[in-house]
Structure 1
Amino acid sequence: MPPETKQTLPPPRLEIRNLVRNFEGRRVVDDVSLSIQPGQVTCLLGPSGCGKSTTLRMIAGVDMQDAGEIYVDGELICDTLFRVPPERRSIGLMFQDFALFPHLTVGRNVSFGLTERGAVARARAEEMLAKVGLERFIDSYPHELSGGEQQRVALARALAPQPKIMLMDEPFSGLDNRLRDGIRDETLAVLKEEDTAVLLVTHEPEEAMRMADEIALMRDGRIVQQGAPYNIYRAPKDKAAVAFFSDVNVIESEVHGALVDTPFGDFLAPGLPDGAQVEIVFRPQHVGIDFDRAGQGPHPTAERGVAARGVVERARFMGKESLVEFRMDHDDTSLRATVPNVFLPKKGTPLWLTIRRDRCFVFPRVG
Structure 2
Amino acid sequence: MTATTPPPRLEIRNLVRRFDGQPVVDDVSLSIAPGQVTCLLGPSGCGKSTTLRMIAGVDLQDSGTIHVDGKLICDTVFRVPPERRAIGLMFQDFALFPHLSVGENVAFGLKGSDKRGTAKRLLDRVGLAHFIDHFPHHLSGGEQQRVALARALAPRPKIMLMDEPFSGLDNRLRDGIRDETLDLLKEEGAAVLLVTHEPEEAMRMADEIALMRAGRIVQQGAPYNIYNSPADKGAMAFFSDINVLQGRVQGALTDTPFGRFLAPGVADGNAVEIVFRPQHVSIDFDRAGKGPNPTIAAGTPARGIVQRARFMGSESLVEFRMEHDGQVLKATVPNVFLPKPGTPMWLSLRRDRCHVFPAKN
- Short-chain TM bin: over 0.9
Tell me how far apart the structure 2 counterparts of residues 123 and 295 of structure 1 sit (CA, whole Å). 67
Q: Which consecutive unaligned segments of at least 5 residues does structure 1 have?
A: none
Q: Do residues 145 (structure 1) and 139 (structure 2) align?
A: yes
**Aligned residue in 1 for 2:360:** 366
Q: Do residues 32 (structure 1) and 25 (structure 2) align?
A: no
Q: 2:202 is paired with a residue of what secondary structure?
A: helix
**Aligned residue in 1 for 2:106:** 110
CA distances 1:35-80 after superposition (whole Å, capped 9, x unpaired): 0000000000000000000000000000000001000001111000
**Aligned residue in 1 for 2:45:** 49
Per the TM alignment, residue 273 of structure 1 is displaced from its structure 2 partner at its CA by 1.2
**Aligned residue in 1 for 2:77:** 81
Report runs of 4+ in structure 1 exceeding 4 Å deviation: none
**Aligned residue in 1 for 2:54:** 58
CA distances 1:310-360 after superposition (whole Å, capped 9, x unpaired): 000111111111111100011111100111111111110000011111010
Q: How do residues 1-367 of structure 1 correspond to structure 2 at under 5 angstroms?
A: 5-117=1-113, 120-291=114-285, 293=287, 303-367=297-361
AA paired with 1:149? E
Per the TM alignment, residue 257 of structure 1 is displaced from its structure 2 partner at its CA by 1.2
AA paired with 2:54? M
Please tell me whether the aligned partners of residues 294 and 352 of structure 1 are also in contact (alpha carbons under 8 angstroms).
no
Instruction: Between 154-163 and 264-273, report the one with greater CA deviation.
Output: 264-273
AA paired with 1:313? Q
Tell me how far apart the structure 2 counterparts of residues 302 and 180 of structure 1 sit (CA, whole Å). 35
CA distances 1:216-266 after superposition (whole Å, capped 9, x unpaired): 000010001000000000100000000000011000001111111111111
AA paired with 1:337? A
Q: Indicate how the Cα distance of structure 1 residues 233 and 302 shifts in structure 2: closer, same or farther if over 3 A, else same.
A: closer
Per the TM alignment, residue 291 of structure 1 is displaced from its structure 2 partner at its CA by 3.5
AA paired with 2:246? E
Tell me how far apart the structure 2 counterparts of residues 148 and 130 of structure 1 sit (CA, whole Å). 15
Instruction: Between 267-276 and 20-29, report the one with greater CA deviation.
Output: 267-276
Tell me how far apart the structure 1 counterparts of residues 298 and 204 of structure 2 sit (CA, whole Å). 29
Share of identical aligned residues, percent? 77
Tell me how far apart the structure 1 counterparts of residues 324 and 69 of structure 2 sit (CA, whole Å). 58
TM-score (norm 2): 0.97
Per the TM alignment, residue 210 of structure 1 is displaced from its structure 2 partner at its CA by 0.3
AA paired with 2:42? G
CA distances 1:268-303 after superposition (whole Å, capped 9, x unpaired): 11111111100000001111102463699xxxx974
CA distances 1:96-134 after superposition (whole Å, capped 9, x unpaired): 0000011111100000021224xx101110111111111
Tell me how far apart the structure 2 counterparts of residues 292 and 313 of structure 1 sit (CA, whole Å). 18
AA paired with 1:76? L
Tell me how far apart the structure 1 counterparts of residues 23 and 349 of structure 2 sit (CA, whole Å). 40
Tell me how far apart the structure 1 counterparts of residues 289 and 3 of structure 2 sit (CA, whole Å). 65
AA paired with 1:160? A
Please tell me whether the aligned partners of residues 39 and 206 of structure 2 are also in contact (alpha carbons under 8 angstroms).
yes
Per the TM alignment, residue 305 of structure 1 is displaced from its structure 2 partner at its CA by 2.1
Q: Which consecutive unaligned segments of at least 5 residues does structure 2 have?
A: none
AA paired with 1:113? G
Please tell me whether the aligned partners of residues 294 and 351 of structure 1 are also in contact (alpha carbons under 8 angstroms).
no
Tell me how far apart the structure 1 counterparts of residues 109 and 195 of structure 2 sit (CA, whole Å). 23
TM-score (norm 1): 0.95
Q: 2:357 is paired with a residue of what secondary structure?
A: strand
